[in-house]
């Protein structure tokens, strides 16, 4: 990369301004080829160079307490966007004519930006942090979505039986495992706990624990 920190900041601003100029707004897709070309020829190569020249260089120097700082900055951004959207929403009822059109577009753009931040933030948490969290909390994860349906219940009960008393595992399924709950009630009444962690619409996660 061979640039100073300030030069990198300036490059970031230039990249973002170029990107925003190409991003469709209000369903007006004026230059899709230009946007894809910019992403492939400028933004992605920049990201690859950053990983080589910036991330690899600073990784070993990040203090332990700063490991989650980028995620906390995401939270700060979410707070800022929330306040900004609230401010814009408060001005819309009294705005008229061109001012109302501009305020509406600004509101839509801010909402789109916030949605993109939240989507990426949640993806980062689930891919980078939750696996570590699951290990730290000593909860096993049993994802049966790729297991043939006829084999799922037996595998789940085997996992339950292998649990030490007082521990739990997270069951990940592609539908509400309510029939499994009824089977536990019939066969293991008083020996298990059942708590929904996520309830659809595409993924269900249930914490199943072994109790005395």
Strand-pairing partners, residue 142, are 171
pLDDT at 26: 65
Q: For residue 140, give the DSSP letter.
A: E
pLDDT at 14: 92
pLDDT at 176: 94
CA 75 to chain centre: 12
pLDDT at 22: 84
Instruction: Per residue of the chain (212 residues), give pLDDT as tens.
Output: 567 888 888 989 999 899 888 887 766 667 788 888 999 999 999 999 988 888 888 888 888 788 899 999 999 999 999 999 999 999 988 989 999 888 888 898 889 899 999 999 999 998 898 887 767 666 788 999 999 989 999 999 999 999 988 888 999 999 999 999 999 999 999 999 999 999 988 999 999 999 97
- C-beta contacts of 21-30 below 8 A and 24+ residues apart: 25/105, 25/108, 25/109, 26/105, 26/108
What are φ and ψ of residue 204, in 5° steps? -115, 135
pLDDT at 138: 66
pLDDT at 62: 87
CA distance 84 to 88: 6
What SS3 state is found at 169? strand
Q: What is the pTM of this model?
A: 0.60
pLDDT at 56: 86
161-192 pLDDT, tens digit each: 999 888 889 999 999 999 999 999 999 999 99
pLDDT at 136: 65
pLDDT at 133: 74
């Amino acid at each position: 990369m061979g640039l100073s920190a300030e030069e990198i900041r300036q490059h970031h601003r230039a990249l973002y301004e170029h990107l925003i100029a190409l991003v469709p707004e209000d369903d007006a897709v004026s230059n899709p080829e230009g946007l894809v070309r910019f992403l492939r020829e400028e933004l992605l190569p920049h990201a690859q160079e950053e990983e080589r020249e910036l991330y690899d260089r600073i990784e070993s120097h990040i203090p332990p307490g700063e490991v989650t700082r980028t995620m906390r900055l995401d939270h700060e951004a979410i707070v800022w966007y929330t306040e900004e959207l609230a401010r814009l929403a408060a001005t819309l009822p009294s705005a008229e004519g061109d001012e109302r059109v501009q305020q509406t577009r600004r509101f839509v753009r801010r909402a789109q930006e916030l949605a993109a931040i939240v989507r990426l933030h949640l993806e980062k948490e689930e891919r980078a942090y939750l696996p570590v969290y699951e290990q730290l909390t000593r909860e096993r994860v049993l994802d049966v979505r790729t297991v043939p349906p006829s084999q799922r219940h037996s595998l789940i009960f085997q996992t339950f039986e292998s649990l030490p008393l007082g521990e739990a595992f997270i069951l990940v399924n592609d539908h509400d495992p309510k029939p499994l709950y009824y089977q536990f009630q019939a066969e293991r009444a008083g020996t298990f706990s059942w708590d929904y962690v996520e309830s659809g619409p595409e993924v269900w996660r249930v914490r199943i624990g072994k109790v005395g």
